């Protein structure tokens, strides 16, 4: 049995953190679904920037969009929606079979809106309506300004993938925004069944501290943060408040482990897959990591929900002089900034292709 099938059978969803028009058209995504137990897909500005820049497969679509008078962001979202609605249709049988728990794809709002609550809320609703697919998440960053937009979008019935979370504290803030949106729907007499996931980024933690901690702590922080978030997740979804909304017909905002490609060439290439296995969670991994795990990954068990492993590790990093709260804030800002940089480059790529 393939390691990916073992991980799936443990109860964790494997999503691909990549999309290109080529993998949709040449059978690659279909193969990953059938052979590597992939049950969903995520995208972001960096992924689309690489896809459009490095493939001629989008050129015809760009020309068609130009004929309709589309430029810049509008042109990009027309291309992205073409890709993601096609991907959503690939995953539709999984979405239906799991009653909406799995089989999702994700489209991110413009990262230029990361600190604009009102516009984020408006755009999230418009993009979801334009996609016209029940299994498409709109990604909204879990920044301070993004949290109200998450609550409002959930209240409006828009499925949300909360992105750019780095710490347990940030995860809980996003979970609170989701819960408030659901509770408001219940109070308003609306259906509380609005899906969401909360995406915690893992690998950048280890990159940030690699040169600042003793050798025995290198490449240990990312998994520890993931474990801490899993501990909080398990406690939250079994709390009286959560059980109350579930009893009213809500669904759980699942924990998603993101940025799980290993950055350190000296570390195992499946580090953040084997180390973050847990039921009723998601691991969205780059294509290279998915293929590596399918080839030689190992499922050695599940994360502990009691924090018995992560608590001591996190304490060791604090003792080594790492201010985890400050670093989480820095990583979130840097993550937002990197997506803005990718977005700006993407707009230049589209502009260059429209000029041909």
**Which residues form the catalytic set?**
139
Residue 318: count of CB within 10 angstroms of its CB? 12
Exposed e or buried b per residue across 123-156, where buried means at least 16 C-beta atoms within 10 angstroms of its C-beta: bbbebbeebebebbbbbbbbbeebbbbbbbbbbb
Question: Residue 94: helix, strand or coil by DSSP?
Answer: helix
Residue 300 vs residues 228, 257, 274: alpha-carbon distances, Å? 19, 17, 7
Question: Residue 166: helix, strand or coil by DSSP?
Answer: coil
Residues 6+ apart with CB under 8 A from 257: 199, 200, 202, 226, 272, 276, 281, 282, 283, 284
The single residue listed with the structure tokens 């996609």 is 131
Residue 327 vs residues 7, 29, 191, 224: alpha-carbon distances, Å? 31, 36, 38, 14
The single residue listed with the structure tokens 């992924």 is 47
Residue 354 vs residues 59, 152, 217, 340, 348: alpha-carbon distances, Å? 9, 36, 49, 21, 10
């Amino acid at each position: 049995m393939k390691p990916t099938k073992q991980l799936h059978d443990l109860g964790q969803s494997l999503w691909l953190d990549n999309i290109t028009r080529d993998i949709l058209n040449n059978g690659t995504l279909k193969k990953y679904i059938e052979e590597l137990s992939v049950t969903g897909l995520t995208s972001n500005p960096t992924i689309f920037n690489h896809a459009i820049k490095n493939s001629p497969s989008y050129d015809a679509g760009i020309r068609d969009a130009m004929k309709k008078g589309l430029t810049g962001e509008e042109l990009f979202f027309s291309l992205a929606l073409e890709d993601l609605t096609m991907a959503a249709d690939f995953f539709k049988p999984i979405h239906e079979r799991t009653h909406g728990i799995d089989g999702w794809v994700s489209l991110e709002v413009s990262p230029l809106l990361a600190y604009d609550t009102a516009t984020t809320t408006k755009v999230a609703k418009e993009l979801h309506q334009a996609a016209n697919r029940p299994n498409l998440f709109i990604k909204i960053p879990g920044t301070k300004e993004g949290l109200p937009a998450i609550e409002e979008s959930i209240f409006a019935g828009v499925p949300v993938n909360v992105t750019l979370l780095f710490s347990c504290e940030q995860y809980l803030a996003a979970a609170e925004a989701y819960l408030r949106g659901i509770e408001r729907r219940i109070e308003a007499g609306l259906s509380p069944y609005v899906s969401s996931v909360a995406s915690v980024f893992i690998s950048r933690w280890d990159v940030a501290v690699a040169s600042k901690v003793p050798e025995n702590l290198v490449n240990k922080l990312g998994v520890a943060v993931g474990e801490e978030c899993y501990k909080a997740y398990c406690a939250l979804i079994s709390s009286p408040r959560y059980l109350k909304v579930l009893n009213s017909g809500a669904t759980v905002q699942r924990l998603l482990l993101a940025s799980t490609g290993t950055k350190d060439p000296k570390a195992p290439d499946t580090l953040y897959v084997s180390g973050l296995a847990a039921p009723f969670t998601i691991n969205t991994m780059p294509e290279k990591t998915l293929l590596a795990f399918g080839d030689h990954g190992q499922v050695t068990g599940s994360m502990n929900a009691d924090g018995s492993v992560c608590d001591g590790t996190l304490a060791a990093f604090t003792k080594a002089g790492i201010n985890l709260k400050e670093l989480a804030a820095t990583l979130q800002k840097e993550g937002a900034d990197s997506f803005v940089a990718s977005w700006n480059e993407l707009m230049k790529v589209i502009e260059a292709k429209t000029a041909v």
